[in-house]
Amino acid sequence: MSLLDKLVEKGLLKKDKAASLKLEIEQSGRKEEEAILESGAIPETDLFQAKSEFLKIPLKEINPEKINPEILEMIPEETARYYQMIPLAKSAKDLEIGMVYPEDLKAQEALKFIFRRQRQNYNVFLISLSTFKNILKKYRNQKKEVGMALEELETELQQETVKKKSSTAAEFERMAEEAPITKIVAVILRNAVEGLASDVHIEPTKTKLRVRFRLMGSLHPSLFLPLKIHPAVIARIKILSNLKIDETRVPQDGRFSISVEGKSIDFRVSTFPTTLGEKVAIRILDPTVGLGTFEDLGFEGRNLEILKQGIAKPYGLVLSTGPTGSGKSTTLYAILQLLDTEGRNVVTLEDPVEYFIEGVNQSQVRPEIGYDFAIGLRHILRQDPNVIMVGEIRDEETASLAINAALTGHIVLSTLHTNNAAGVIPRLIDMKIKPYLISPALQLAIAQRLVMKLCNNCKKEIEPKPEIKEMLLREIETLPLSIKKTLKPSKNLTIFVAQGCEKCNKMGFAGRIALFEILLMTDSLADVILKEPSEANILKEAKAQGMITMKQDGILKVLRGVTTIEEVLRVTEEKQITND
């Protein structure tokens, strides 16, 4: 009997699903557990509990923070990673070993070989994949690694006989190329990627060099370094980014790529002179995170249908709108990937290029040399394009060119700064676009905001407070009838709150997702644009057609346990009510 058979026997997996998974495993050669988890057929906890019963090996749940780092040294990191086994705890007599695949004979042999030499008795426990990955991170502690590199640097400096301190670019470059500084920068970048940070800020204070990571939209202190290594750290990043090391008076921009955990990650670098010295902001561009599917981004139900309907047209303008940092570019990249087919010529104008997409002709504007969006767009139209993406419509000329391109048989994607989808049309009119040109050119206007996603492992379902329930029922009442029918009866209304567990680092949240509202151009909306194109009138018509507002999309995500009511109210600029 296989693990799949056991899952079917316990009623956790249907026979047809088990059969398709078995075929996939045979063809790919992957482990059963990996294929099952990726399919989303069974929660990880249920899967490993069933495996524990199947193998008759106890399942061990353990907090990685409670593991003594010295115990980890009993199995080398490379061995632990390869065989997916790791030391958990040590008593007077025995050592506890956690294994993801205790049935693996090669892993068992490796274990015997290691502890035969150490004359150490051990007991094997089953651990889940996520538990193993979390414990594996303990091998590499940022502060410990940086501390060792600083000690190494201090030793090197003490061994040198330097008559006077040098502050030349050559000296900073020499320090930047030394092993300790390269290690420090490498550790910071690797920990930022592994921690799913979107940005790294390295900034001098009066007493220390502060390193902060941006996680789910907020900056968090990660590390403090001696101020004396500030020039060398900045120089190292400049070397990686091919920037001028001796230029500290003006901002500079650059980028570089390194491999982290087998993935190629791009880093976009911006230096900025401050009164205390240069600050560096680094944007982390992980294609596995940034280039997601529509569902990953938060499109669902009617919004997803309208989006696919809009971009299926052979021409037209699609605008993504929202404040800075709301995920507009990410949405356009997702659309771009779908439109990038062999039979199309896809060209982009970006400032800057964030993600490189195979097969797409991507160009970065440089306003300082006269190559701006308007100039670039004029040249793109001579490149025989099918799909054009313009990073942002900032002025009347770019707006006019984008509209004309959409009217002459091109699919045009771009971003615009407005508060909501209905505000796109008045904004275009403000930019001197004639109302009669807007309706035939514009296909979709997509407004969005980012909210934090609840951790699926620890979120808690509760009954909302009376005032929250009343507000939810009011919003539900305004939803289209087809959507209202799918919701729970009002007496059974529940929401979810954040708790905090080991998997989400006690935050209660894991990642972010967008709330959307999508305006689709229709004949009746075109009439409104020609007669009285105020934002209020456009919004009224859009709602009459069944448009779901951002707040309503957020409410639906609250009821499904994707996010909290506090998060939705925060980004939709409503007075917040808490459920505490």
Q: How far apart are the first and last CA of the chain?
A: 49
pLDDT digits (tens, 9 = 90+) for 58-93: 998 887 767 777 788 788 888 888 899 999 888 777
Name beta bridge partners: 448.
516
SS3 of 356-404 = CCCCCEEEECEHHHCECHHHHHHHHCCCCCCEEEECCCCCHHHHHHHHH
Beta-carbon count within 10 A of 358 CB: 6
Quick: pLDDT tens for 361-416: 999 998 889 899 999 999 999 999 999 999 999 899 999 999 999 999 999 999 99
**291-451+513-548 — its CATH code?**
3.40.50.300
- 37: number of Cβ within 10 Å: 18
Q: What region, left, alpha or beta, does residue 262 occupy, with left being phi > 0 and alpha being psi -120 to 50 degrees?
A: left
What does the DSSP assignment read for 487-536? SPPGGG--EEE----TTTTTSSEEEEEEEEEEEE--HHHHHHHHH---HH
pLDDT in tens, 189-223: 988 888 888 899 999 999 999 999 988 888 888 88
**Contact (CB, 8 A) for 145 and 187:** yes
* DSSP structure string for 240-291: HHT--TT--SS-EEEEEEEEETTEEEEEEEEEEEETTEEEEEEEEE-HHHHS
> Residue 138 has what DSSP assignment?
G
Beta bridge partners of 208: 226
The pLDDT of residue 562:
93
Any idea what DSSP says for residue 64?
G
Q: Which residues pair with 90 in a beta bridge?
A: 95
- In one-letter notation, the amino acid at residue 551 is K
Confidence (pLDDT) at 368: 85
Report in angstroms the alpha-carbon separations of 393 from 75, 106, 312, 433.
Answer: 56, 59, 22, 12
The residues, ordered by sequence, that sit 6+ positions from 94 with a Cβ below 8 Å of its Cβ are 121, 122, 123
DSSP letter assigned to residue 454: E
Facing residues of 514 across strands? 450
Q: Which two tokens stand for residue 242?
A: 């091919």
Q: Same CATH topology for 140-286 and 291-451+513-548?
A: no
Residue 75 has, within 13 A of its CA and on its CB side, a CA count of 30
pLDDT at residue 163 in the model = 42
- Whether residue 220 contacts residue 213, with contact meaning beta carbons closer than 8 Å, is answered with yes
Rounded to an integer, what distance in angstroms lies between the CA atom of residue 113 and that of residue 163? Answer: 54
Euclidean distance between CA atoms 580 and 569, whole angstroms = 15
389 and 413 Cβ atoms separated by less than 8 Å: yes
Q: Give the model's pLDDT for residue 161.
A: 44
Low-confidence ranges of the chain (pLDDT < 50): 161-166, 574-578, 580
pTM listed for this prediction: 0.69
As a CATH number, domain 3-137 is: 3.30.300.160
Options 3.40.367.20, 3.30.830.10, 1.10.1060.10, 3.30.450.90; CATH for 140-286 is: 3.30.450.90
Q: Is residue 221 within a helix (H) or strand (E), and if so which, with residue range?
A: strand 218-226
Domain map (residue ranges) of the chain? 3-137, 140-286, 291-451+513-548, 460-497+550-580
> What pLDDT was estimated at residue 406?
95
Distances (CA, A) of 530 to 241, 428, 442, 527, 538: 50, 13, 14, 5, 11
